[in-house]
Amino acid sequence: MQVEALRASLGATVEGLDLSQGIDPDSAAELRTALLEHQVLIFPGLGLDDERQLALAGVFGEPELHRLEDEDNRDFDSVEGHPEILVLDDPAKNPANFWHSDATFRQQPPLGALLSVRACPPRGGDTLWASTRNAHEELSEPVRRMISGLSAVHGHPPSTSSAVHPVVRRHPETGRPSVFVNRGWTTRIEGLSRHESQAILGMLFDHCERPEFSMRWSWSEGDAALWDNRCTLHYALRDYGSNYRRVHRIALAGDRPRQEN
């Protein structure tokens, strides 16, 4: 198995991973270490079926059950017999063409997600990721001090789900801080006026989405990707017209975000 960095600060490809006999403990440990270092792992041409996708996801955490009765899941379908696997093949039902972290409007957002591309358009449909860990490192010291200790509200209209999380989150495994707000779900900062909240959030959104902190992947059928939802944003480009795109996604159960200090 070979892990090769895509960019100096974000993303790596993983090749030579043989899942036919399962994943041995040494390979599993290497994969977990690679995720913590690179934040996004791309598996070109891995060609996962549902069983192997579940097995690979299990290396990194506990797959979340997809429950159709949940308000937040009302527009999704799952694979028959595998309620952990969401089928995403209709962008009108699942718009993701904006910068966001998954489900931060929940008290315990996912640790990460494993995406397997089963059908992709001949062109378009790329996905971008951005590192909010790297973004935090590049903030000036006065701004880091200003946002440390603040909390923000995350919501998902028209759902009633909402949660309050620290603006700066400490990673539960690496201990490194990241900016934990996103344009998709973060609505306001607690304790600030509307004007103050909008100004600070707007600055943080723009900063985290800078190209210097991002990477982009052009999909081929059979590719898979895993990302750490605790310190990244992502954006699924919807630029492939009426062409068909089908991906299977497994979310991994996460913990409640905690403050930097």
Residues belonging to the active site: 100, 102, 234, 249
Closest among 254, 246, 8 to 113, alpha carbons compared: 254
Phi then psi for residue 234, to 5 deg, are -145, 165
Q: Hunting for tokens 């009765």 — which residue is that? A: 69
Structure tokens at 186: 């973060």
Closest among 39, 31, 36 to 7, alpha carbons compared: 39
Helix then strand then coil, in percent of the chain rounded to 5, is 25, 30, 45
CA dihedral sign, ordered 105, 109, 112, 114: negative
Structure tokens at 246: 């089908």
H or E stretch at 207? helix 194-208
* DSSP label at residue 20: B
